[in-house]
Amino acid sequence: MMKMPPGAGEELFKQINYPSDPNNMSDLEKKHWPRIECPDVVEANKPFDVTVNIGVGIDHPSELAHFIEWIELNRGPCGVTRAYLQPKYSYPRVTFRVAIDKDTTLVAKEYCNLHGIWENKKQVKIQ
C-alpha cells in the first residue's frame, strides 16, 4: 500500500483515478491524466514509439513536495515497462519503444505523490 502524504486527498489513494468527464476536466484532472500519444494502427511485431505525457494543457509540477514518481505502460493487464522520475530534474513525459503482435489496449498509469494513481487507455490495432 502506498503511503499517503499529510494533507493529500485520501479518496484519491483508495482507487485508480480517471477524469469524471474527459471533455470537461478540472485543473486537477488535467494535471494528472496520462495522455497516450502513438499511432492508432501499427504493423505486427514492428517497434513503434508510445509517449505518455502527464498534463493536458497544464504542466504537472516537478518539485520535492509534489511530483510524478513513476509512469508505467501496460499491454492490457500485463506490465510492459515503467520509468521512475526524480523531482526537480525530470518532468513527466516519457517515450517507450514497444511492439505488439495483435490488437491491444495500451494502459498508461502514473503515480503522483500527492494525488495517487491515474490511468488512461488507448486501443491500438494491427494493420
10-18+29-126 — its CATH code?
2.60.40.730
Q: 94, exposed or middle or buried, with CB in 10 Å at 0-12, 13-18, 19+? A: buried
* pLDDT higher than threshold 80 for residue 7: no
Domain ranges within the chain, ordered by starting residue:
10-18+29-126
pLDDT at 9: 65
Give pLDDT tens digits for 77-120: 888 899 999 999 999 999 999 999 999 999 999 999 999 999 99
Give pLDDT tens digits for 34-85: 999 999 999 999 999 999 999 878 999 999 999 999 999 999 888 889 999 9
**Whole-prediction pTM:** 0.88
- The answer to whether the CB of 68 falls within 8 A of the CB of 112 is yes
